[in-house]
Structure 1
Amino acid sequence: MTESATIIARIVEYNTGGKNRETIAREQVGTIAQHHSRFNSDLGTAITEAIENGYLEEQNGELVATERVDELIRGRHYSMG
């Protein structure tokens, strides 16, 4: 998975669940990603890739991280690809 898709999955994970809302709007993810120094991709493409790889899901038009995103947080399954 590309670095940009990994960044998006981590943003969604960090900003949902626990004391935060369970989901996050794409626009809000985009705003956060714009301030990330290593995000240099099209937001839609990165989100689609993260969904296709099973790290994110869409619920009611918003994004939520799957349990699989824990693999990314621990640093596994990361590639510059």
Structure 2
Amino acid sequence: MSENAAIVARIIEHNTGGQNRATIDRDHIGVIVSQHGRFDGDIDDSIAEALAEGYIEEQDDEYVATDRVWELVPGTSRS
């Protein structure tokens, strides 16, 4: 998985669930990605890659991270 797709997947995980909304839309992801210093690709390609790899899922035209996203950050898990 590319670094850009991993960044998108982690952004989605970090900004959904708990006290946040259950899902996040593409525009909100774009705002966050535009402020990320290491992201240097196309957001739509990165979302598509993260979807294809199973790190995120689409729900009603918005996105949510799957449990698989924790593979991107070794030594962590959803508590």
Same fold, TM-score > 0.5, yes or no: yes
* TM-score normalized with structure 2 length: 0.92
1:20-31 mapped onto 2 (5 Å cutoff): 20-31=20-31
* Structure 2 spans left out of the alignment, 5+ residues: none
Aligned to 2:38: 38
Aligned length: 75
Structure 1 length-normalised TM: 0.89
Higher relative contact order (CA 8 A, sep 6+): 1
Match for residue 10 of structure 1?
10
Q: Which runs of 4+ in 1 moved over 6 A?
A: none
Deviation at 1:74, TM superposition (A): 2.1
Structure 1 unpaired stretches of 5+: 76-81
Instruction: Show CA shifts across 1:41-65 (max 9, x none).
Output: 0000000000000000000000000
Query: What is the root-mean-square deviation of aligned Cα atoms in Å?
Result: 1.0
Equivalent-residue separation in structure 2 for 1:66 and 1:55 (angstroms)? 5
